[in-house]
Amino acid sequence: MSRGRLAIALIGLVLLVGGLAWGTAGSYGFGHYHALYGRIVARDSVPDRSATNAVSVTTFDYRGFDTLGEEFILFVSVAGVIVLLRRMRGESGRDESLLAEEDRRASESSRWLGLALVGPLLVLTVYIVAHGQLTPGGGFQGGVILMSAVAFVAVGGESVVLLRLRRASSGVELAESAGAAGFAMIGFGGLVATGTFFENFIAKGTSGLLTGGFIPLANIAVGLEVAGGLLVVISELFDQRFTRERS
Amino acid sequence: MNVLLALLLTLVGAAGTITVTIREPVRQTIAAGILSLLLALLFFALQAPDVALSEIVVGSIAIPLMLLLAIAKVRDQQTAVEGEAEDVGRGDER
Amino acid sequence: MRQLAPLAVAVPLLGAALLVFFHTLLPRIAAELLALGIAIAACVMTVLLLVHVGHGLTVYWFGGWHPRQGVAIGIDFAVSAVGAGLAAFVSLLMVLALVYGIHYLDVRHPYYQVLMLTFMAGMVGFCLSGDLFNMFVMFELMSVSAVALVGYKVSEGAALEGGLNFAVINTIGAFLFLLGIALIYAHTGALNLAQMGASLRHGGDDRVVVVAFTLIIGALLIKAAIVPFHFWLADAYAVALTPVCLLLAGAMSELGIYGVGQVWFTAFQGALGSHAHVVRPILVGAGLLTALWGGAMALTEDHIKRLLAFVTISFVGVFLIGVGLLSEAGVAGTSVYVVADGLVKASLFACAGILQHRLGKVGQHRLHGRGGGLPATGIVFAAGGLLIASLPPFGPFLGKAMIDDAAIKAGYWFVPALVAVASALCAAAVLRAGARVFLGWGDAGSDAPDLADEDTEPETRAGHDRTPAIMFVPALALLAGALATGVWSGLPDLAATAARRFTDFGGYHAAVFGTAHHLGSATSSAPEWFDYAYGAATVGLAVALTGLNLWGVRVVPGWRRASAAAAFAIAPIRTLHSGRVGDYTAALTLGIGVLGALLAVSLL
Amino acid sequence: MSVYPYLVAAWLLGVGLYGVMSSRNYIHLIICLTVVQASTYVLLLSVGYVSHGKAPIFADIPTSSVTVDPVVQALTLTDVVVEATVVALLLALVVQANKRFKTVDPNAMTRMRD
């Protein structure tokens, strides 16, 4: 760091960090939150939606439109990664010899280890997504776990799985875009059924998995989108290793 | 404010500082993963299990994975460049 | 009609997802036409929404979550005429940008179209939203799309550098925004702007409020690229695909200024309104500095797109002056100026894109005299330059006149003259570039650095021997729009009425929380006689500067020494635009820190 | 002691930004950005904390229990997603930049200037 930059940086940091500390210290003390907004949401989410996870109800219902934006931030960053890592003139395709080498390296035992891990992780995913409106977790967490099931396999020496996945990338993208479109359509469903965009148009249920109206559907859509989207990003980055520049 | 929260907050602050000071990318990725785990523990202590779960899966799995793949690609590329440079150097000697 | 508010955001989003879903089935032309159709639909919806809103405020609660116990529990769109107008302007620019790219642009479908649609959805949502956190989400949606679009030409080093600088600085801005939201939520218990404003009216001018205000305003000023947060902009806008530039320069920077106005007049006016005399000089001062800085830098720039990026910075400074006056008249003037000037800048970028398509370069010296075969483009370019100099009676003149009047009314008598100088600098930069490229005037300047062109690759497909109509027509249409906004005599009064609604917190709060509130219409007296004098002086100064730059050495004795002195004086400022993201971050940190310190010292 | 979480958030902002400014490696810089982001998580969740409050999940506790604020948790969830997207996009840019510049040092990537 040059001396000029260091001087500017230090003055700026002292002012910024000091200012933030000074400002927050003027707020109420830690643990004394008292605003009505959170209390109303916590109090009403069970009567409103029969769903016991007030965070899920806030995320998908009270503030569902924010989550629509959030899902599309993820969606668009995946599109961005695809565009930014597209193959350019002068770059060769995938190096098949590297691929074959990778295939040899993947031993039989690690293959079985990977498969053995995938099963439990899939079950965990389904559980977490399905109980999103009741207990901690939901589509987002489940989606990442699903993605990491594949990642575990890759870490277990079976990185060739990612390449196979790459070949099936249209399928993964299909899942991803279906999730994003599905989430948007839930919003449109409210518009069609009740006349208000993002209104929860499905009966709230009484107890168990089918509570919260459209929240379980939203969790499934988000799960698909997140798992698909992250898989696309991971496999695009992975594919880069097998792309060579022609000199 | 209880002891557990104070301890976790201190650990998060320290882990953040260490993560910034490590300059070697792979070790830094591991430090970032540890920071994420500590953050997740802190979020559990702050009664935010949903956020904690998200932070574990994103901060300790998804992001380190992306980082490691990118680091590997960057290393491949730079080794290739150095290799070429060495070839050129040897050519000059001859 | 109220349903148009959510649909203007949701339809482009759903369309983007479906474009990817069907991407294996869709040929390129189908993806292009679908995206264009969706953009046109969004444009029609936002225009209808603008008509529907009229003098009032249209409030839409998502999910039907109306406030309970006086607390907003859901998210609302609170659409004012200013917001709807800006949204309509954004979607209109998007239609033209998509037309501009059809068939010729070398892009990968459908992802390019997907990114454009989500970019538009984010910008439109930002204009309509009445919830601070929702504004943040829309802001991020727009930024993430824009980062991918700026870095699009991955085979160019400059595009990657611009994309990275843009991404890092705007991400830091987003974090500051979030910290500000957390603080203001802690203080007011609200994310809804109307509720926040009501709470702050009783809550007083606490230091938490000052720090939160600093962080939120700072984040928005980073997006708007106000000095010293502006460094990323020139790197990013110079390298983006031309159609993307139309939107970046025409609308995205301006949205940051809109955000400043929105959070001030709805949320913070209540707490800090009695200190407006302290906030005003800070904002106006930053605006003046930005306007002059951008103008001076534009005049030193060889790369035409980079030059236009500095023109953008300069004008964002003028818009900040308009909004920073914190008055009805200032907002009215800014509304007119943003649209008129946005059209001109978009038209100029479209011309630069035509140059790039036909001649493959965008450096003035490389192109010296080579634009002779493009007379129509040259005329549009020159006309754009004159409009930037606020040639009466056209659109930019009208907007500038309204801001000038508002500044004089607020006691800032020196603002019109300084703004005139800044506009003249920008206009001279544009006119000089036009004269060099299209007419071959002035020296060929062989000593000029050609680095700018080193890796500027053509962004269009084959067929470089003619200008396709789909590239030229948008340039012409944008220019015609800018001309027309000045001739429409009802515009100033409409803008004044819209501004009255935008600045009136009582009416905003009443409408959001369900009681009708009628506000009378307002009128604007601009332009006054002295506005014409300022306009004429600006044009004269711009032409004189152009002439001096082209032939000064031959005509004016001692000019060489004078221009060398000027170059020497500006050299340190040029060095500051180092392209190093660490420097930019340091400047950003210092800027936010100083902004906060100024506010804290003078408010408390 | 009651402001300690806020101070930790401010500290994380400061060290993260320092890391961004002093970085000689874009991958290091991206990780520093995630440290800055950690500051936003800590602040958001801290302001919504209620002493002795339970998590706002009524699966095992009565609905009348005192809980911490669910709203900030929903906001933080969005924030976490933003983190993942920003890292993904920046890494894609860095991988490409390394192909063009043969370096990931932000100070060495200055193409447009003389």
Q: Determine the longest span between alpha carbons in chain C, in angstroms.
A: 76
Annotated domain spans of chain B: 3-93
| Beta carbons of A128 and A208 less than 8 angstroms apart | no
- Provide DSSP, B47-67: T-HHHHHHHIIIIIIIHHHHH
Q: Which amino acid is at C84?
A: A
Query: What pLDDT is attached to residue B94?
Result: 34
What is the share, in percent, of chain D residues with pLDDT greater than 70? 95
Residues in chain D: 114
Query: What pLDDT is attached to residue A212?
Result: 84
Which letter, b or e, does each residue of C121-157 get, where b requires 16 or more Cβ atoms within 10 Å of its Cβ?
A: bbbbbbbbbbbbbbbbbbbbbbbbbbbbbbbbbbebb
Model confidence over C476-534: pLDDT tens digits?
Answer: 999 999 999 888 888 999 999 999 999 999 889 999 997 766 777 888 887 888 889 99
Q: Which amino acid is at D21?
A: M
Using the Cβ of C20 and the Cβ atoms of chain A, whether some distance falls under 8 Å is answered with: yes
What is the distance between the alpha carbons of residues D65 and D62, in angstroms, rounded to a whole number?
A: 6
Per CB-CB distance under 8 Å, the chain C contacts of A12 are: 586-594
Q: Which helix (H) or strand (E) holds C133?
A: helix C132-150
Report if residue C244 sits inside a domain. Answer: yes
Answer whether D touches B (≥3 Cβ pairs < 8 Å). yes
Expressed as residue numbers, the domain containing C289 is 4-445+466-512+522-603
Taking only residues 20 to 79 of chain D, the set having a beta carbon closer than 8 angstroms to any beta carbon of chain B reads 24-25, 27-28, 30-32, 34-35, 38-39, 41-42, 45-46, 49, 51, 53-57, 67-68, 73, 76-77
Neighbors of chain B by Cβ distance (3+ pairs < 8 Å): A, D
Per CB-CB distance under 8 Å, the chain D contacts of C158 are: 111-112
- Please give the ipTM for the structure prediction: 0.94
Query: What pLDDT is attached to residue A86?
Result: 86
Q: How confident is the model at residue C320 (pLDDT cuts 50, 70, 90)?
A: very high
What is the distance between the alpha carbons of residues A103 and A105, in angstroms, rounded to a whole number?
A: 5
Q: Which amino acid is at A73?
A: I
Model confidence over C184-193: pLDDT tens digits?
Answer: 999 999 999 9
Query: What pLDDT is attached to residue C157?
Result: 87
What is the distance between the alpha carbons of residues C64 and A187, in angstroms, rounded to a whole number?
A: 12
Token couple for A158 = 């079976």
Using the Cβ of D91 and the Cβ atoms of chain B, whether some distance falls under 8 Å is answered with: yes
What is the distance between the alpha carbons of residues C74 and C65, in angstroms, rounded to a whole number?
A: 5
D108 secondary structure, DSSP code: G
Token couple for D62 = 């009565």
Q: Which of D3, D47, D58 shows the shortest C-beta gap to A25? A: D3
What's the rounded mean pLDDT across residues B30-53?
Answer: 95
CA angle A139, A140, A146 (to 5 degrees): 85
Using the Cβ of D9 and the Cβ atoms of chain C, whether some distance falls under 8 Å is answered with: yes
Report if residue C595 sits inside a domain. Answer: yes
Model confidence over A85-105: pLDDT tens digits?
Answer: 987 766 766 666 666 666 666
- Provide DSSP, C372-399: GG-HHHHHHHHHHHHHHTT-TTSHHHHH
Quick check: D16 and B71 CB within 8 A? Answer: no
What's the rounded mean pLDDT across residues C118-130?
Answer: 97
Per CB-CB distance under 8 Å, the chain D contacts of C455 are: 111
Per CB-CB distance under 8 Å, the chain D contacts of C172 are: 17, 20, 33, 36
Which residue of chain B comes nearest to A140, CA vs CA?
B54
- Provide DSSP, D31-87: HHHHHHHHHHHHHHHHHT-BTTPBPSBTTSS-TTS-B--HHHHHHHHHHHHHHHHHH
Query: What pLDDT is attached to residue D112?
Result: 45
Expressed as residue numbers, the domain containing A212 is 35-245
Per CB-CB distance under 8 Å, the chain A contacts of C458 are: none
For chain B, which residues lie within 8 Å of any Cβ of chain D, measuring from their own Cβ? Answer: 1, 5-6, 9-10, 12-13, 16-17, 19-21, 23, 25, 28-29, 31-32, 35, 39, 42-43, 46-51, 54-55, 58-59, 62-63, 66-67, 70-71, 73-74, 77-78, 81
Q: What is the mean pLDDT of chain C?
A: 90
Per CB-CB distance under 8 Å, the chain C contacts of A72 are: 13, 16-17, 118, 121, 141
Residue A111 pLDDT greater than 80, yes or no: no
Query: What pLDDT is attached to residue A90?
Result: 67
Residue B93 pLDDT greater than 60, yes or no: no
Quick check: C183 and D39 CB within 8 A? Answer: no
Quick check: A66 and C582 CB within 8 A? Answer: no
Query: What pLDDT is attached to residue C452?
Result: 46
What is the distance between the alpha carbons of residues C400 and C387, in angstroms, rounded to a whole number?
A: 11
Most D CBs within 10 A among B7, B8, B10, B19, hence the mutation to make, goes to B19
Query: What pLDDT is attached to residue A160?
Result: 59
Model confidence over C402-434: pLDDT tens digits?
Answer: 999 999 999 999 999 999 999 999 999 999 999
Compare A83 and C457 and report the one with higher pLDDT.
A83
Answer whether D touches C (≥3 Cβ pairs < 8 Å). yes
Q: Which of A63, A73, A177 shows the shortest C-beta gap to C144? A: A73
Query: What pLDDT is attached to residue C122?
Result: 97
**Which of A224-228, B74-78, C180-184, C516-520 is predicted most confidently?**
C180-184
Model confidence over C540-549: pLDDT tens digits?
Answer: 999 999 988 8
Per CB-CB distance under 8 Å, the chain D contacts of C144 are: 85-86, 89
Place of tokens 């643990």: A31
Using the Cβ of D22 and the Cβ atoms of chain C, whether some distance falls under 8 Å is answered with: yes
Taking only residues 39 to 98 of chain A, the set having a beta carbon closer than 8 angstroms to any beta carbon of chain D reads 39, 41-43, 45-47, 52-55, 57-59, 63, 66-67, 70, 73-74, 76-78, 80-81, 84-85
Compare C339 and A158 and report the one with higher pLDDT.
C339
Q: Which amino acid is at A138?
A: G
Token couple for D85 = 């997207």
Q: Which of C158, C172, C191 shows the shortest C-beta gap to D112? A: C158
Quick check: B54 and A55 CB within 8 A? Answer: no
Which residues, 6 or more positions from A22, have their beta carbon under 8 angstroms from its beta carbon?
A: C207, C211, C600
Per CB-CB distance under 8 Å, the chain D contacts of A24 are: 3, 6-7, 9-10, 43
Q: Give the dihedral of Cα atoms C416, C417, C422, C424; nearest 10 deg.
A: 110
What is the distance between the alpha carbons of residues C154 and D96, in angstroms, rounded to a whole number?
A: 7
Which residue of chain A comes nearest to C208, CA vs CA?
A23
Compare A187 and A242 and report the one with higher pLDDT.
A187
Quick check: D39 and C175 CB within 8 A? Answer: yes
Q: At A114, is the secondary structure helix, strand, or coil?
A: helix
Q: CB D81: neighbour CB atoms within 10 A?
A: 22
What's the rounded mean pLDDT across residues A201-216?
Answer: 83
Report if residue A9 sits inside a domain. Answer: no
Please, what are the domains in chain D? 4-51+65-108 (1.10.287.3510)
Main-chain dihedrals φ then ψ at residue D67, nearest 5 degrees: -125, 165
Domains contained in chain A, number: 1
Q: What is the mean pLDDT of chain A?
A: 82
What is the distance between the alpha carbons of residues C190 and A41, in angstroms, rounded to a whole number?
A: 12
Q: How confident is the model at residue C97 (pLDDT cuts 50, 70, 90)?
A: very high
pTM: 0.94
Q: What is the mean pLDDT of chain B?
A: 86
CA angle C186, C189, C194 (to 5 degrees): 125
Could you tell me which of C307, C285, C282, C284 has the C-alpha nearest to residue C297? C307
Query: What pLDDT is attached to residue B92?
Result: 41
Main-chain dihedrals φ then ψ at residue C152, nearest 5 degrees: -55, -45
Q: Which of B53, B57, B65 shows the shortest C-beta gap to A136? A: B53
Answer whether C touches B (≥3 Cβ pairs < 8 Å). no
Report if residue C354 sits inside a domain. Answer: yes
What is the distance between the alpha carbons of residues A103 and C470, in angstroms, rounded to a whole number?
A: 50
Least confident of B52-61, C448-457, C480-489, D51-60: C448-457
Per CB-CB distance under 8 Å, the chain D contacts of B85 are: none
Report if residue C326 sits inside a domain. Answer: yes
Quick check: D20 and C235 CB within 8 A? Answer: no
Quick check: C115 and A76 CB within 8 A? Answer: yes
Token couple for B21 = 């000071």
Neighbors of chain A by Cβ distance (3+ pairs < 8 Å): B, C, D
Residue D111 pLDDT greater than 80, yes or no: no
Token couple for A51 = 């769903």
What is the distance between the alpha carbons of residues C595 and C588, in angstroms, rounded to a whole number?
A: 10
**Which of C88-97, C297-306, C517-526 is predicted most confidently?**
C88-97
Q: Which amino acid is at C524?
A: S
Compare D31 and A128 and report the one with higher pLDDT.
D31
Taking the CA of residue A193 and the nearest CA in chain B, the distance in Å comes to 30
Quick check: A23 and C112 CB within 8 A? Answer: no
Report if residue C453 sits inside a domain. Answer: no
Main-chain dihedrals φ then ψ at residue A217, nearest 5 degrees: -60, -45
Compare B32 and C461 and report the one with higher pLDDT.
B32
Per CB-CB distance under 8 Å, the chain C contacts of A188 are: 10, 14
Q: What is the number of CB-based contacts under 8 A between chain A and chain B?
A: 51
Domains contained in chain C, number: 1
Most B CBs within 10 A among D24, D27, D61, hence the mutation to make, goes to D27
Which residue of chain C comes nearest to A11, CA vs CA?
C590
Per CB-CB distance under 8 Å, the chain B contacts of A233 are: 66
Q: CB D59: neighbour CB atoms within 10 A?
A: 12
Q: CB D97: neighbour CB atoms within 10 A?
A: 24
C73 secondary structure, DSSP code: -
Query: What pLDDT is attached to residue C324?
Result: 96
Query: What pLDDT is attached to residue B90?
Result: 47
Residue D114 pLDDT greater than 70, yes or no: no
Model confidence over C360-417: pLDDT tens digits?
Answer: 878 888 888 888 888 999 999 999 999 999 998 899 999 999 999 999 999 999 999 9
Compare A213 and A166 and report the one with higher pLDDT.
A213
Taking only residues 278 to 337 of chain C, the set having a beta carbon closer than 8 angstroms to any beta carbon of chain A reads none
Taking the CA of residue D84 and the nearest CA in chain C, the distance in Å comes to 12
